[in-house]
Amino acid sequence: MSDTPEAAAKPLHKNEQLKAESNFLRGHILRDLEDTSSGTIPEDSAQLTKFHGIYPQDDRDLRAQRRKEGKEKAYIFMARVRVPGGVCTPRQWLALDAIADAHGNGTLKITNRQSFQLHGVIKSELRPAIHEVNLELLDTLAACGDVNRNVMCNPNPHLSGLHAETLAIAKETADRLLPRTRAYHELWVDETLVAGGAPAEEEEPMYGRTYLPRKFKIVFAIPPSNDVDVFAHDLGFIAITDGDGRLAGFDVTVGGGMGMSHNQLETYPRLAEVLGFCLPGQVADVAEKIVTVQRDFGDRTNRKHARFKYTVADRGLVWIRQEVERRLGWELGSARRFEFTDTGDRYGWTEGPNGDSHFTLFIENGRVKDAAKAALREIAKVHRGDFRLTPNQHLMIASVSPAERPRIEALLREHVLDTAHRATGLRLNAMACVALPTCGLALAESERYLPDLVTQLDAEVEAAGLRDDAIVIRMTGCPNGCGRPFLAEIGFVGKAPGKYNMYLGAAFNGSRMNTLYKVSVAAADIVPVVRPLLRSYAAERLPGERFGDFAIRVGLVSPTGTPADFHDKAQEKPAPEGDAQA
């Protein structure tokens, strides 16, 4: 639908036709799921199941062995459960815990967009798994695909009324932007989908038959916390208070995104910009109109240029604002002042104003498994409040009443979960994406490697006297940016097996991205590279100076100037994407 002359001259990406002809996301999903001759589904159905929150994958650890044995890959599926604002009940937790055991690989993954992922679900288990998710009033609809994804919101109920109001608006916005197709319910809930058949008599009033050019992400931030990394997303709402601390409205940000491809300079991470201000009651309308601007002007010819960040970059903020206001029929207000302090979580107990308290549990990279999973099951059985998934992949046991607290404390102590947050400031601010063995796009390890790397770096941190200094370190297995690595003070981005591009200099509060510092650092060389940086930071920093700011002040890197700052100057040839462990 893009109206630029260049876009008009180019053919639409093949996914556009696929979406248009899919009969509102039905396609041949049912037929392909019922085909028992393969453990996976064909590419067309794979593109469509994403809109249902499901990705076909394979266990990449087993690829070589299976090939040697002449067998097909060890196919599995990942299902992403949408949890608006990251809030779920203990009952839902228990259900997901059981679903992961019965139908998945026995782990629950808390994502950095406050969703759950079930990994390792084999084809025959997929429909029962999703069906059971829906029985608990959760779903996987639009957790992936070219639509608005899970809407994030700062999960801290100790912020009281302001938080509750913002969360309610986040949920209203999420509901407004959900696809209306019945296909999801037919396929996974009622199980009444008839393969093929006549086009359903339904419509997508907002999305239309071809949905969006690409994924779309919305977050709500409540300053001073920028835990949602508001500048990393397509659309952001920053809560603004009046003099009495009541919610006055939201500053609106547009055009953020992290993904890029190595050495393709036309792809780049981008920080969102502030568009204007709106009142609480206007948020859902503003979100809807902004989504329709992207629907109509996003690039549908090239999926590497199809995110809203490129629409904003190409057309400019002034144009975007005029177009949004034209559609709204009224003008946005002038942006207000806000100040962010950090992007991290507040671990341990925090007290709420109504007497309730909340315990934020450190869960390394959001992977809930083994003893911690069993312990959380026990806690969920007795907990009367709710659970909140944090944007940093951790878990808040929220709204614990004074009467309930001794029991929760005892369980945390019994299962040694009460001390997890006594880790170094580096570990508490570390985040890795999933990567191997499930992610088909990973070029290098991430979730399975960062904890070990941090253990090695912890020794350096302790030696430099920086044990309690919060330093944001993030790693991803490829440049798609799932772990938001370009907003880390120290960022590692997978280049090839065991090799990472290293980035330095992002702001601690998520307001400035980092810059490429070293290309293709071998895993074994990371500690020797980081050691002197930590030492000089400890010795030479100014009072209160953050590591990212220090890296810039002493000239380790310059602040990001252009998109080229993220790419290898050497233009080395990367390993082909997805082939790291063929």
Contacted by 491, from ligand SRM, ligand SF4, none: CB < 5 to 8 Å by type = none
Contacted by 174, from ligand SRM, ligand SF4, none: CB < 5 to 8 Å by type = none
Kindly report the length of the chain.
Answer: 582
Residues 6+ apart with CB under 8 A from 264: 304, 567
Separation in Å, CA 308 to CA 216, 284, 476: 7, 18, 22
Q: Which is nearer to ligand SRM, 115 or 166 (CB)?
A: 115
- Active-site entry in 19, 50, 60, 80: 80
Contacted by 232, from ligand SF4, ligand SRM, none: CB < 5 to 8 Å by type = ligand SRM
Of residues 528, 531, 513, 519, the one with CA closest to residue 492: 519
- Active-site entry in 214, 478, 495, 512: 478
- With CB atoms as reference, the residue minimizing the distance to ligand SRM is 259
**Long-range Cβ pairs for the range 236-244 (8 Å, 24+):** 236/272, 237/166, 237/169, 237/170, 237/283, 237/287, 238/274, 238/338, 239/162, 239/166, 240/277, 240/336, 240/338, 241/162
Whether 88 is catalytic: no
Q: How near is the Cβ of 8 to ligand SF4 at its closest, in Å?
A: 31
- Active-site entry in 439, 484, 499, 546: 439
Q: How near is the Cβ of 112 to ligand SRM at its closest, in Å?
A: 4
Whether 346 is catalytic: no
- Active-site entry in 113, 149, 427, 512: 149
Q: Which is nearer to ligand SF4, 298 or 481 (CB)?
A: 481
End-to-end CA distance of the chain: 37
- Active-site entry in 433, 474, 484, 546: 433
Contacted by 22, from ligand SRM, ligand SF4, none: CB < 5 to 8 Å by type = none
Q: How many CB atoms lie within 10 A of CB 316?
A: 11
* Positions that interact with ligand SRM (CB under 6 A): 55, 57, 78, 80, 111-113, 115, 117, 149-150, 217, 232, 257-259, 307, 366, 393, 433-434, 438-441, 480-482, 484
Q: What's the Rg (C-alpha) of the chain?
A: 23
Q: Which is nearer to ligand SRM, 7 or 230 (CB)?
A: 230
Give, in degrees to the nearest 5, the angle at Cα 548 between 544 and 554.
85
Q: How many CB atoms lie within 10 A of CB 582?
A: 10
Q: Which is nearer to ligand SRM, 22 or 150 (CB)?
A: 150
Separation in Å, CA 170 to CA 85, 192, 247, 326, 373: 7, 31, 14, 24, 29
For residue 427, the surrounding DSSP H or E stretch is helix 425-428
Q: Which is nearer to ligand SF4, 359 or 449 (CB)?
A: 449
Q: How near is the Cβ of 34 to ligand SRM at its closest, in Å?
A: 23
Q: Which is nearer to ligand SRM, 208 or 440 (CB)?
A: 440
Q: Which is nearer to ligand SF4, 236 or 259 (CB)?
A: 259
Q: How many CB atoms lie within 10 A of CB 248?
A: 16
Q: Which is nearer to ligand SRM, 115 or 282 (CB)?
A: 115
Q: How near is the Cβ of 561 to ligand SF4 at its closest, in Å?
A: 24
Distance CA 576, CA 333 (A): 46
Whether 439 is catalytic: yes
Q: Which amino acid is at 162?
A: L
* Positions that interact with ligand SF4 (CB under 6 A): 433-435, 439, 441-442, 446, 476-478, 480-482
Of residues 204, 213, 205, 219, the one with CA closest to residue 287: 219
Contacted by 259, from ligand SRM, ligand SF4, none: CB < 5 to 8 Å by type = ligand SRM
Q: How near is the Cβ of 439 to ligand SRM at its closest, in Å?
A: 4
Distance CA 214, CA 158 (A): 35
Whether 123 is catalytic: no
Q: What is the 3-state secondary structure (H, E, C) of 428-479?
A: HCEEECCCCCCCCCCCCCCCCCHHHHHHHHHHHHHHCCCCCCCCCEEEECCC
Whether 482 is catalytic: yes
- Active-site entry in 217, 309, 367, 484: 217
Contacted by 476, from ligand SRM, ligand SF4, none: CB < 5 to 8 Å by type = ligand SF4
- Active-site entry in 88, 153, 278, 482: 482
Q: In this structure, is the dihedral angle defined by the CA atoms of residues 429, 433, 437 and 441, taken in order, positive or negative?
A: negative
**The two structure tokens encoding residue 462:** 């302790």
Of residues 456, 463, 487, 470, the one with CA closest to residue 424: 470
Contacted by 313, from ligand SRM, ligand SF4, none: CB < 5 to 8 Å by type = none
Q: How near is the Cβ of 520 to ligand SF4 at its closest, in Å?
A: 16
Contacted by 150, from ligand SF4, ligand SRM, none: CB < 5 to 8 Å by type = ligand SRM
Q: Which is nearer to ligand SF4, 425 or 481 (CB)?
A: 481
Q: How near is the Cβ of 414 to ligand SF4 at its closest, in Å?
A: 34
Of residues 507, 429, 441, the one with CA closest to residue 470: 429
Whether 14 is catalytic: no
Q: How near is the Cβ of 303 to ligand SRM at its closest, in Å?
A: 7
Active site residues: 80, 149, 215, 217, 433, 439, 478, 482
